[in-house]
C-alpha cells in the first residue's frame, strides 16, 4: 500500500507520515520527494527542520521549489523580513496556499511536501493547520490558478497530544505510522528498511489498514509489501479430532454389515402389536387404540367396577 | 373538519376538532404525542426513533470514525426532503454542499414525475366541477376527488436505491440554501479566531435565522390561512470538526458550540423545521463536552463502524457494518419519550440499501471455543443491565 501511494496508483490527497524518536521518517520523506519530482510537474517543499539539501539529494532539482523555514523562521534578521521572499514566517498568519501563489507557477498539478507540521503546531492551534491544509487541498484551477494533487506532511507522534493527532487523522486520506527499523545506512549503502502501519481511506469509503515492511534502496526508491499478521489464537479454532469410543477396548463393540442389517429389521416392542386378548373390548377411543396384553398373574375381571357409578 | 393524513393519503376518517390541523405533505402525526413527524429517509431508522424526527427538534448523529455512514444518513435526509418537496438548508465545512447534493440516492419507484404531473392536470380539471353540490351522496362532499398514487409526494418514508444517483433536474429544482463555510466566512476570519464566540457558528446561526424568517417557517408570525405550509429541513454536516474552529478536542472550555446548539433549538422550537446534525464526537477528548452537546439536542444516536478496527474480524458481526446506539430520544411536548423495545441495533450497507436492524447474535455452534473468554460470541452475550459479571464461570454460580 505504501508503495502504491508513493507511485500514485492509489490516489491519496493528504499523506501524513507519523514518526517518532526511535523510528525516523526522513528516509521515507526523501523517497516521496524524489518520486513526486518524477511524477508531478512541480513540487513545493516546505522545510522547517532540515536544510533543503537533505531531501533533494538525487532528485530533479529544477522541478522542486523550496520554501525555507529552516534558516530563519522567526525573521530575526533584518534582511529576511522581505515579504515577497520565499521564507516561511512563523509569526504571521499561516497560509500554505499564499506561499504557493506567490511563486510564479507555470504548471499544474502541483505536489506539496511539508517537512514537518511540528513547528506550525507549536505556534498555532490545531484547527488553524487543518484549515490551512484544507485550503491547499481544495484549491482549484479556475479560482486560485493552481491545483494541488498531493500533500505529504510529516508529523512527530511523540511531540503532540492525542487530540491533535486525531484531528489530523480525520483529515488525512493516508496515515503512515512508522514502527520499527529505519536503521542508519551502513557503509555499503544498504539502504533503510522498517515496518509501518498504513491506514488508507479510498474515495469510495473503503478503509484499509495494513501492517507492512518497507525497504529503501540507496537510490531512494521504496518497495513495500504487506506483512503477514501473526496468527491470533482466537481466530483459529483447533478442531479436536472426535475420539472414537469403540477403539482400544478389550471387547468388541463394532458391528459387521450383516449385523447392522439385522439390527434394522428388529421389531421394536409396542410398535404394531396385534391384540392377542380381549377381542370384545370396544375401541373406546378411535383416535388411539389400546392394546392390552394381560400377564399370567393379572387379575382380569370381566366385571367393570365402574358400572355402579350413578350420575 | 380537517382530513387526517393517513399512510395512503386519503382516509374517510375525520377528526372532530375546532382548530384546523396543519396538513403538510411529507409529514405525519406522531402516534404517541401531539407532534408532527418528518422522515429521515431511512424507514428502519424512523421506526426505532419513534416514527421520525419531530418537527421543531434536532436529531444529533455522532459520527463513526471515518464519517462515511454519517454522510450517508445526511444524503438520505436531503433526498427525502427533495422527494417530499421540503426546502433544504445544507451546511458543510469540508466538502461543498453542492457535491453532497449531487450524490443523492435515487428513489426506487420510477413514476414519481408522472404521478406529480398527473395530479396537477387532474386537479385543474376538477376545480370547475367542485361548485356543484352533491344531492344524493352528500356525505362525500368534502372528500378529495382524486386518489394520489403510491409514490407521490404525500407518502411518508420513501425507499432509495444507492447504486443510482438522483437526477440533476430534481436536485437543481429543489429549493435549497447551501452554506459552505470557506465561502461564507471572510478570509481574515478563516485562520485563528479570538474572542468569546466562534465567528463560524455566529454566521451559521444568522443564516439559519434568515432562512426561517424569509421562508415563512416561523410559527410565531401569523400567516394567511390558505397559504400552504411546508417544513424546512436543516442539515448540518460535520459540525464541531477542526475546520469549524473547534480547538483542543473540547478541553479548552470553549462554549461556542453549546451556545450555538442552544440558540438553534430556540429557533427550531418556534418554527416548522427539522434538523439533522452530524458531529464527529470521536475527536473530542473530553467526554463531558460530548455529554453537554447531547443534552442540548433532542434525539441522539451514535454510529460505530467496524471499518479498520479489530471488530471487523469478529464472527459475531460478520453480517453488519457497524453498531448503532440510541442515546437519547426527544421529549418535546410530552412527559415521556418513545421507548424502543430493545437497545442493540446494528446497521448494514448493502449495495442498494442502508438498513438498521436489531442485532442478532449468530447461533452458538458446537465448534465454539473451549474457554469462554476467547469466544467472541459468548462475550457479546453480556447484557448491558446485568448486575453480575459473565466473564468466566464463577464457582459460586448455581
Of B97 and B249, more confident: B97
How many angstroms separate the Cα of B239 from the Cα of each of A54, A75, B200, B209, B246?
41, 37, 10, 17, 9
A229 phi-psi bin (left φ>0, alpha ψ -120 to 50, beta other): beta
Lowest mean pLDDT among A34-43, A56-65, B30-39: A56-65
C-alpha cell at A15: 499523506
- Per DSSP, the residues of B166-180 read PPHHHHHHS-EEEEE
Residue B261 pLDDT: 95
Between vectors from CA B140 to CA B139 and to CA B145, what angle results, nearest 5°?
170
Report the C-alpha dihedral over residues B243, B244, B249, B254, rounded to 10 degrees.
Answer: 150
Residues of chain B in contact with residue A126, where contact means CB-CB under 8 angstroms, are: 242, 247-248
Q: Are strands B299-305 and B88-92 parallel, antiparallel or unpaired?
A: unpaired
Q: Which candidate in A97, A98, A131, A229 is best for mutational testing of the B interface (most B CBs within 10 A)?
A: A131
Does A310 have pLDDT greater than 70?
A: no
Q: How far is A63 from chain B (nearest CA, A)?
A: 30
Instruction: Pick B191's closest partner by Cβ from A94, A208, A234.
Output: A94
**Nearest residue of A to residue B244, measured between CA atoms:** A127
Write out the DSSP string of B43-65.
HHHHHHTTSSEETT-EEEEE--T
Do the Cβ atoms of A166 and B376 come within 8 Å? no
CA distance B72 to B80: 12
Out of B66, B247, B284, name the one closest to residue A207 (CB).
Answer: B66
Mind listing the pLDDT tens digit for each residue in B297-313?
999 999 998 887 777 77
* Selection from A115-124, A214-223, A245-254 with the highest mean pLDDT: A115-124
Residues listed for chain B: 398
DSSP H or E stretch at residue B107? strand B105-107
**Cβ-contact A255, A263 below 8 angstroms:** yes
Specify the pLDDT at position B58: 95
> Which tens digit of pLDDT belongs to each residue from B360-384?
777 766 555 555 555 555 556 554 4
A chain contacts of residue B313, beta-carbon cutoff 8 Å: 235
Q: Which of residues 134-173 of A touch B (CB under 8 A)?
A: 134-135, 138, 162-163, 166-167, 170-171
The torsion angles phi and psi of B56, rounded to 5 degrees, stand at: 100, 5
Domains of chain A: 2-229 (3.40.50.300), 259-295 (no CATH)
Residue A311 has pLDDT above 70, yes or no: no
> Could you give the residue ranges of the DSSP H alpha helices within B92-198?
97-102, 112-129, 168-173, 181-184
Residues of chain A neighbouring B282 (CB-CB closer than 8 A) = 166
User: Which comes out higher in pLDDT, residue B23 or B20?
Assistant: B23
Nearest CB neighbour to A131, from listed B191, B248, B249: B191
CA distance A193 to A195: 7
What are the residues whose beta carbons fall under 8 Å from the beta carbon of B176, sequence distance 6 or more?
B87, B88, B89, B90, B101
CB contact under 8 A, A170 and B191: no
Distance from CA of A70 to the nearest CA of B (A): 23
- Would you state the pLDDT for residue A38? 84
Quickly count: other Cβ atoms within 10 Å of residue B221's Cβ: 11
Q: How much helix, strand and coil, in percent to the nearest 5, is found in chain A?
A: 25, 20, 55
Q: How many CB pairs under 8 A join A and B?
A: 75
Residue B42, CB-side half-sphere exposure with 13 Å CA sphere: 22
Instruction: Give the pairing of strands B27-29 and B58-62.
Output: unpaired
Chain A interface includes B97 (CB < 8 A): no
pLDDT one-digit tens code per residue, A157-189: 899 988 889 899 998 999 999 987 655 554 445
Mean pLDDT of B232-248: 89
Q: Does B242 touch chain A (CB under 8 A)?
A: yes
Which residues, including other chains, have CB under 8 Å from residue A184's CB and lie 6 or more apart? none
Higher pLDDT, B392 or A204: A204
User: Which of A1, A172, A205, A208 should one mutate to test binding to chain B, selecting the residue with the greatest count of B CBs within 10 A?
Assistant: A205
**Phi/psi of residue B381, nearest 5 degrees:** -75, -5
CA distance A158 to chain B (A): 17
Q: Say whether B67 and A206 touch across the interface (CB within 8 A).
A: no
Answer whether B75's CB lies under 8 Å from B95's CB: no
Joined together, the cell numbers standing for residue A269 give 416392542
| Contact flag A208-B308 (C-beta cutoff 8 Å) | yes
Q: Show Cβ contacts of residue B162 under 8 Å, excluding neighbours closer than 6 positions.
A: B105, B349, B351, B352, B353, B354
> Beta-strand (E) ranges in B214-253?
232-236
Q: DSSP per residue over B16-42, as a string?
A: --SSPPP--TTEEE-TTSS-EEE--S-
* Per-residue pLDDT band at A229 (split at 50, 70, 90): low
Around A32, how many Cα atoms within 13 Å sit in the side-chain half-sphere? 26
What pLDDT, on the 0 to 100 scale, is given for residue B12? 61
A258-267 tens-digit pLDDT: 888 888 888 7
DSSP H or E stretch at residue A127? helix A126-137
pLDDT in tens, B192-235: 887 788 889 999 999 999 999 988 888 888 877 777 788 999 99
User: In whole angstroms, what is the distance from residue A52 CA to residue A208 CA?
Assistant: 33
> What is the reported pLDDT for B117?
45
What per-residue confidence (pLDDT) applies to B203?
A: 92
Measured CA to CA, the distance from residue A224 to residue A213 in angstroms comes to: 6
Closest CA to B343 of B325, B367, B318, B317: B325
The HSE-up count of residue A76 (CA atoms within 13 Å, CB side) is: 5
Query: Is the pTM value of this prediction over 0.80?
Result: no
pLDDT greater than 90 at residue B352: no
pLDDT tops 50 at residue B72: yes
Distance CA A238, CA A240 (A): 6
Q: Dihedral, CA atoms, B126, B128, B132, B136, nearest 10 degrees?
A: -20
Position B279 pLDDT exceeds 90: yes
Residue B262 banded pLDDT, cuts 50, 70, 90 = very high
Q: Are B306 and B317 in contact (CB under 8 A)?
A: yes
Tell the residue number behind the cell numbers 498555532, with chain if given.
A124
In chain A, % of residues over pLDDT 70: 78
How many residues are present in chain A? 311
Q: What is the pLDDT of residue B144?
A: 61
Could A167 and B283 be called an inter-chain contact, meaning their C-beta atoms sit closer than 8 Å?
A: yes
- Interacting residues of A143 by C-beta distance below 8 A, sequence separation 6+: none
| DSSP strand pairing (A192-201 vs A207-216) | antiparallel
pLDDT tens profile A126-160: 888 898 898 888 887 777 778 888 999 999 989 99
The reply to whether A230 touches chain B by the CB within 8 Å rule is no
Q: To the nearest whole angstrom, how far is the Cα of A309 from the nearest Cα of chain B?
A: 51
Which of the residues B69, B242, B286 would you substitute to probe the A interface, choosing the one with the greatest number of A C-beta atoms within 10 Å? B242
CB atoms within 10 A of CB B395: 5
* Mean of all residue pLDDT scores within chain B: 78
- pLDDT for B15 equals 57
Nearest to B54 by CA among B28, B80, B78, B86: B28
Distance from CA of B250 to the nearest CA of A (A): 9
Rounded Cα distance, B299 and B328, in Å = 5
Cα B229 off chain centre by? 20
Is residue B287 classed as helix, strand or coil in its secondary structure?
helix
Out of A94, A126, A208, closest to residue B242 by CB? A126
In this structure, what are the phi and psi dihedrals at residue A287, rounded to the nearest 5 degrees?
-70, -40
Amino acid at each position: 500500500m505504501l508503495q502504491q501511494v508513493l507511485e500514485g496508483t492509489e490516489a491519496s490527497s493528504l499523506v501524513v507520515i507519523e514518526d517518532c524518536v526511535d523510528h525516523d521518517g526522513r528516509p521515507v520523506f526523501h523517497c516521496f520527494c524524489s518520486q513526486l519530482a518524477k511524477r508531478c510537474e512541480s513540487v513545493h517543499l516546505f522545510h522547517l527542520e532540515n536544510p533543503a539539501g537533505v531531501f533533494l539529494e538525487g532528485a530533479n532539482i529544477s522541478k522542486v521549489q523550496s520554501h525555507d523555514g529552516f534558516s530563519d523562521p522567526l525573521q530575526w534578521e533584518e534582511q529576511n523580513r522581505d515579504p515577497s521572499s520565499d521564507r516561511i514566517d512563523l509569526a504571521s498568519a499561516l497560509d500554505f496556499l499564499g506561499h504557493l501563489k506567490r511563486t510564479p507557477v507555470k504548471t499544474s498539478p502541483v505536489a506539496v511536501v511539508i517537512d514537518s507540521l511540528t513547528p506550525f503546531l507549536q505556534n498555532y492551534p490545531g484547527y488553524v493547520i487543518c484549515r490551512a491544509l484544507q485550503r491547499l487541498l481544495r484549491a482549484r484551477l479556475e479560482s486560485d490558478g493552481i491545483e494541488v494533487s498531493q500533500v505529504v506532511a510529516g508529523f512527530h507522534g511523540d511531540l503532540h497530544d492525542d487530540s491533535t493527532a486525531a484531528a489530523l487523522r480525520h483529515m488525512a486520506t493516508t496515515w503512515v505510522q512508522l514502527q520499527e527499523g529505519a536503521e542508519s545506512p551502513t557503509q555499503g549503502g544498504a539502504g533503510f528498511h522498517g515496518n509501518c502501519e498504513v491506514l488508507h481511506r479510498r474515495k469510495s469509503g473503503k478503509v484499509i489498514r495494513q501492517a507492512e515492511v518497507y525497504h529503501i534502496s540507496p537510490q531512494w526508491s521504496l518497495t513495500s509489501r504487506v506483512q503477514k499478521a501473526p496468527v491470533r489464537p482466537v481466530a483459529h479454532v483447533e478442531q479436536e479430532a472426535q475420539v472414537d469410543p469403540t477403539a482400544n477396548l478389550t471387547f468388541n463393540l463394532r458391528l459387521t454389515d450383516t449385523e447392522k442389517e439385522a439390527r434394522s429389521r428388529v421389531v421394536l416392542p409396542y410398535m404394531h402389536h396385534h391384540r392377542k386378548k380381549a377381542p370384545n373390548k370396544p375401541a373406546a377411543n378411535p383416535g388411539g387404540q389400546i392394546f392390552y396384553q394381560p400377564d399370567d398373574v393379572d387379575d382380569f375381571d370381566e366385571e367393570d367396577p365402574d358400572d355402579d357409578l350413578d350420575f | 373538519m380537517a382530513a387526517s393524513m393517513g399512510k395512503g393519503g386519503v382516509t374517510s376518517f375525520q377528526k372532530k376538532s375546532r382548530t384546523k390541523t396543519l396538513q403538510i405533505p411529507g409529514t405525519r402525526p406522531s402516534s404517541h404525542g401531539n407532534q408532527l413527524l418528518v422522515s429521515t429517509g431511512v424507514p428502519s431508522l424512523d421506526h426505532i426513533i419513534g416514527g421520525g424526527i419531530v418537527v421543531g427538534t434536532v436529531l444529533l448523529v455522532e459520527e463513526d470514525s471515518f464519517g462515511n455512514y454519517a454522510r450517508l444518513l445526511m444524503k438520505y435526509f436531503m433526498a427525502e426532503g427533495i422527494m417530499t418537496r421540503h426546502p433544504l438548508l445544507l451546511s458543510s465545512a469540508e466538502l461543498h454542499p453542492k457535491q453532497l447534493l449531487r450524490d443523492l440516492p435515487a428513489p426506487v419507484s420510477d413514476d414519481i414525475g408522472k404521478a406529480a404531473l398527473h395530479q396537477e392536470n387532474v386537479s385543474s380539471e376538477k376545480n370547475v366541477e367542485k361548485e356543484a353540490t352533491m344531492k344524493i351522496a352528500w356525505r362525500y362532499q368534502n372528500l378529495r376527488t382524486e386518489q394520489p398514487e403510491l409514490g407521490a409526494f404525500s407518502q411518508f418514508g420513501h425507499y432509495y436505491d444507492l447504486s443510482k444517483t438522483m437526477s440533476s433536474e430534481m436536485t437543481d429544482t429543489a429549493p435549497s440554501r447551501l452554506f459552505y463555510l470557506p465561502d461564507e466566512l471572510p478570509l481574515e476570519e478563516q485562520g485563528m479566531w479570538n474572542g468569546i464566540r466562534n465567528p463560524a457558528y455566529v454566521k451559521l446561526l444568522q443564516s439559519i435565522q434568515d432562512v426561517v424568517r424569509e421562508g415563512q417557517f416561523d410559527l410565531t408570525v401569523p400567516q394567511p390561512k390558505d397559504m400552504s405550509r411546508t417544513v424546512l429541513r436543516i442539515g448540518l454536516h460535520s459540525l464541531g470538526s477542526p475546520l469549524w474552529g473547534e480547538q483542543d478536542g473540547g478541553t479548552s472550555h470553549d462554549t461556542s458550540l453549546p451556545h450555538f446548539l442552544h440558540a438553534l433549538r430556540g429557533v427550531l422550537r418556534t418554527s416548522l423545521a427539522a434538523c439533522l446534525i452530524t458531529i464527529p464526537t470521536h475527536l473530542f477528548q473530553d467526554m463531558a463536552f460530548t455529554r453537554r452537546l447531547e443534552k442540548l439536542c433532542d434525539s441522539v444516536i451514535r454510529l460505530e463502524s467496524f471499518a479498520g478496527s479489530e471488530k471487523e474480524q469478529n464472527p459475531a458481526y460478520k453480517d453488519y457494518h457497524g453498531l448503532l446506539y440510541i442515546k437519547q430520544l426527544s421529549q418535546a411536548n410530552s412527559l415521556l419519550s418513545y421507548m424502543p423495545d430493545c437497545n442493540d441495533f446494528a446497521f448494514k450497507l448493502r449495495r442498494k440499501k442502508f438498513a438498521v436492524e436489531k442485532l442478532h447474535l449468530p447461533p452458538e455452534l458446537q465448534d465454539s471455543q473451549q474457554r469462554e473468554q476467547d469466544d467472541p460470541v459468548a462475550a457479546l452475550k453480556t447484557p448491558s443491565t446485568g448486575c453480575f459479571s459473565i466473564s468466566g464461570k464463577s464457582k459460586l454460580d448455581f
